[in-house]
Homo-oligomer: A and B are copies of this chain.
Amino acid sequence: MKIGVVNVGSRFSRERGEAIEAWFAANIPDGSIQIVIHPAAYQKHGHFGGDDAARTNAFVEFANDSRLDSVWFARGGYGACRIAEAALPRLTGVARKKHYLGYSDAGSLLALLYKAGFPHVAHGPLASDAVRDDAAAWRALNWLKSGDAASLEPSLLTDPRPAVAFNLTILNELMGTPLEPDLGGHVVMIEEVSEPLYRVDRMLFHLTHQAGMRRCAGIRLGRVSDIVENDPDFGLTPEEIVRYWCQRSGIPYLGVADIGHDSGNKVVPFGRRP
């Protein structure tokens, strides 16, 4: 298996790229799983890891490369929504067969690939983060290799409905745009990091009022971590906030999800499981 790593968002450091390569050298010395990082991943353009054209080109090149089995997003950090629409029409049948894995900002691109009918798109560990934790790295690789059920978010093993997972901010911002997939009948899992709870509440006001969300099967809440302090205390927990907006909007609240901005982040393949 050969995996291509691309960066579609903010800057990616060479040190983190070398950490990915070092993990593979140490843990898969027989080369049975190979990793290749697109050289454009280290470009710099203001906030971004290269300008929009460079990031688009690198993603398209790896997606269309028949020598690669999977595309793994290097890291999160804002930028994917700028390039998703331009990338899609350039993707070939080769790209359609690949597995795509990542989350956080990369969710913008995952959403559009899923909307376009790509069958192997999943929310799960990013390359740079995964190699900080062996379990996370193997969880990602085992899903990329074989769709290993042990890598999956546990509710997927018993709930047959199609699912998606997103960072709350990312999902909130892609609703109503060409990146929004059909969420009808889907279990929608959300997670968040580094936001104060008043913003989580405001995003759920917006999200649960969107026509596309009103058709989903329900919301599962992943971890909301590194919460920015609300002064005074907000007065509701993240789960109470989600329950409130679910009740108000008529969207079923389905319980927790084992996803989050952390090494425990489980894999959520988009759509129906085989």
Chain A positions near chain B (C-beta within 8 angstroms)? 10-11, 44-48, 78, 81-82, 169, 172-178, 197-199, 201-203, 205-206, 209-211, 230, 232-236
Contact B206 A176 (CB under 8 A): yes
9 A–B contact pairs at CB < 8 A? A44-B232, A46-B236, A47-B197, A47-B230, A47-B232, A78-B198, A169-B202, A177-B206, A177-B210
State which of B197, B201, B235 has its C-beta within 8 Å of the C-beta of A45. B235
State which of B11, B45, B202, B211 has its C-beta within 8 Å of the C-beta of A81. B202
Contact B48 A235 (CB under 8 A): yes
A175 to chain B, nearest CB (A): 6
With both beta carbons as reference points, the residue of chain B lying nearest to A180 in the complex is identified as: B209
Complex-state Cα separation, A195 to B232, whole angstroms? 20
Q: Chain B residues with Cβ under 8 A from A177's Cβ?
A: 205-206, 209-210
Contact A47 B206 (CB under 8 A): no
Complex-state Cα separation, A30 to B45, whole angstroms? 60
Complex-state Cα separation, A199 to B16, whole angstroms? 24
Contact B47 A203 (CB under 8 A): no
Q: Chain B residues with Cβ under 8 A from A234's Cβ?
A: 46-47
State which of B82, B175, B199, B233 has its C-beta within 8 Å of the C-beta of A46. B233
